Amino acid sequence: MPAAETTPETLATDAKSTAGETAKAARMVCYLCRRRFADLEHLRRHEDLSDLHRANLEKLDHETLSRRLELRQTIMHTRAALGNFPTSLNDGDAATEETSEGSSLAAKRQKLEWTLQQAETALGSLQENFEERLRSSTTTHVDQAGSIHTHAVQLKAWSETGVSGGAPKLIRLGDSGTRIWLGAETWKGNKRANEDRFVLDLSLVTPGTDPPVHGVAVFDGHSGPACADYLVAHIGENISHCLAAKDSATPFEQRLQDSVHQAFILTDDDFLAIASAEGVPDGSTALVVIMWTDSAERLKMLVAHAGDSRAVLVKADGTECVRLTEDHKPNREDERRWVQSKGGIVIEINGTWRVFTPETVIVGDKVLQWGLAVSRSLGDLPLKIPRTVINNHPEVKVYDLDPAVDRSVVLASDGVFDVQSDNLVASLLAPPPPLTLIRPDACARRVVRRAYELLSDDNLTALVIHIVPQGMDTEEVNTRKRPPTDRESIASKAKRSRRTL
C-alpha cells in the first residue's frame, strides 16, 4: 500500500468517504478522539499513526494523574479528621445522643464518612479505567514516571500467562462433577511498572495412572520482573519433570509434595545461574496452588509458597475464612532464627523488617548492601551468592476440601493484604441475591480495586478460584458479563465493565 494511504489524514478521509456505506457496520470507536472506524485494523492504524490520538492520550493521562493525587489527598485528610473524633462517640452513642453537641458531632462524622466513601469509590473507578487503558490500547505512551510502555507487548505478556484477555476458565476435576472456576486481575497501581505475574494454568502433566491436576500461581516480582517472568515460563514444567522422575510406588500425594518442593529449588538454581552470568538482582515470591480429586473422588488442594504472597480459603456462607499460608517475614521468629544462623542481619527500617547481607555485594558494576522485606524468595542473587541469607525452600501443605462447605480460594500479592484483612477480602466475594457466585475475574477485580481505594502503593494482583459443586450452574453469572474480544472497541468494553460487577 502506498505510503500516502497510511497517513492519519488519509485514514480520516477514507472514514468520511465510506461513512454512509458502513454506518451500520462501523463498530470500532476511538473513545478519545470520538471517531468511528469500519474495522479493528483501521482503528489500530489510527491509534498507531494519529498525532491527535497521541495528544489526546497524553492529555487524558495527565488529567488522570492529577485527579488521582487530588482524591488520595482527600482520602488521607478525611481519615485523619475521622481519627480525631472522640472514641466514645461510637455508632450506638451517635444514635442515642440527644445533646446539641453530640448531635453536631454525629452529623459531622456522618458527613466525613460519606466524603471518604465517595472519594474511595471515585479513586477506584479512576484507576480501573486507567488500568484498562494500559491493557487495551496498542498505543505507546509516556506514564507519570516518564517510562515508555508498548501496550501490545503487555497484551502478549498477558496471553503468555494463560489469561487470554482475562476471560475466566472453568475446569472439571475428575469424575465427581466438581469444577473450579478461575479468574484474575493485576494492576500496576502507583508503581512505575507491574512486576507481578499470575498463571491460570501451569499446564502440569501427571504420569501414568496418576489423577490429572490443575495448577495456578501468583508471583510478586521485585527489583525487576525478570525472575517472575522466568517462574511463569519454567516452574510448571519443572514440577511436571520432577513428578515424572519419582517412583510410582510412592503415594501420589507424597510424590506431588516432594516434586513441588524440589521444583522450587531447581527453578531458583537455574535462574540464579542466569542472573549470576548477567548481573541480574531480580527476585520474586512464589505461591502455587494445585487441585485434583483422589481415587475416592475427594477434592484435594496443595499449597506451596515462598515469600509473603498469601492464600485464603473462603467458606460457602461467606462468614468464615481460613488462612492457608503464613507470610515469610523476617520478624517471624522461626524465620529470623534461620536468617541469623546463616549470617544475615534482620533489622526494622521505617516500620518494615528487612533481611540484609552483612557485607556489601557486587551485582554487575554496582556495589550494594542489599535488603529484602521477605525471608524466603526465588532469585535475589545478592542475598544468595556468595552468602545465602534467605531461603528458597517452600512451605508445602495439602488440604482436604469439601465442595459443599468450601467455596473459594483467593491468592494475592502482599499489595492486597497489606491494606486488607483476610475477612475483608472474603467479604468482597459475596454475591448479591439471588446469585450464588460472582464471576471469579470480577471478584479478583473487586479485591484489587478495594486495595487501591485503601491507598496501597504496591502492584496489586488477585487470583480467585471458585469451587463449583455438582449441580451448581454458572451460566446465569456468565451472561452478566461476557469476556471482551479483540474485535470490540475500547469504548464498548469500558462502558460494559461499568454496568457489570
Q: How many CB atoms are closer than 10 A to CB 365?
A: 6
CA dist 424 and 464 (Å) reads 14
Residue 165 has pLDDT above 90, yes or no: no
pLDDT at 156: 36
Neighbours of 233 (CB within 10 A): 14
Nearest residue to 410 via CA among 474, 455, 460 = 460
Please give the average per-residue pLDDT across 311-330, as a whole number.
Answer: 93
Q: What is the pLDDT of residues 428-459, one digit of tens each?
A: 999 887 778 899 999 999 999 999 999 999 99
Residue 486 has pLDDT above 80, yes or no: no
- Enter the pTM of the model: 0.80
Separation of alpha carbons 452 and 122, rounded Å: 11
Q: Does 371 or 122 have the greater pLDDT score?
A: 122
Residue type, 296: A
Distance CA 472, CA 181 (A): 12
Cell triple for 124: 477506584
pLDDT, mean over the chain:
82
Which of these, 149, 153, 280, 267, lies nearest to 223 by C-alpha position? Answer: 280
Least confidently predicted of 42-46, 68-72, 105-109, 335-339:
42-46
Q: Which of 95-109, 244-258, 350-364 has the lowest mean pLDDT?
A: 95-109
Q: Give whichever of 59-68, 81-90, 484-493 has the largest mean pLDDT.
A: 59-68
Position 244 confidence tier, pLDDT thresholds 50, 70, 90: very high
Q: What is the pLDDT of residue 145?
A: 31
DSSP string, 103-159: HHHHHHHHHHHHHHHHHHHHHHHHHHHHHHHHHH----EE-TT--EE-HHHHHHHHH
* HEC secondary structure over 148-207: EECHHHHHHHHHHCCCCCCCCEEEECCCCCCEEEEEEEEECCCCCCCCEEEECCCCCCCC
Whether the bond between 434 and the residue before it is cis, its omega within 30 degrees of 0, is yes
Collapsing DSSP to helix, strand or coil, 278 comes out as helix
Residue 492 has pLDDT above 80, yes or no: no
HEC-encoded secondary structure of 15-77 = HHHCCCCCCCCCCEEECCCCEEECCHHHHHHHHHHCHHHHHHHHHHHHHHHHHHHHHHHHHHH
Instruction: Kindly state the percentage of the chain with pLDDT values over 70.
Output: 77
Question: For 117-138, how does the pLDDT look when each residue is reduced to its tens digit (9 = 90+)?
Answer: 999 999 999 999 999 888 764 3
C-alpha cell at 144: 507519570
User: 29-43, 66-80, 397-411: which has the minimum mean pLDDT?
Assistant: 29-43
pLDDT of residue 343: 94
- 75 vs 61 pLDDT, higher one: 75
DSSP states of 355-400? EE-SS-EEETTEEE--EES-SB-EE-GGGTSSS--SB-PPEEEEEE
Q: Look at 222 and 369; give whichever has higher pLDDT.
A: 222
Radius of gyration for the alpha carbons in the chain, expressed in angstroms and rounded: 25
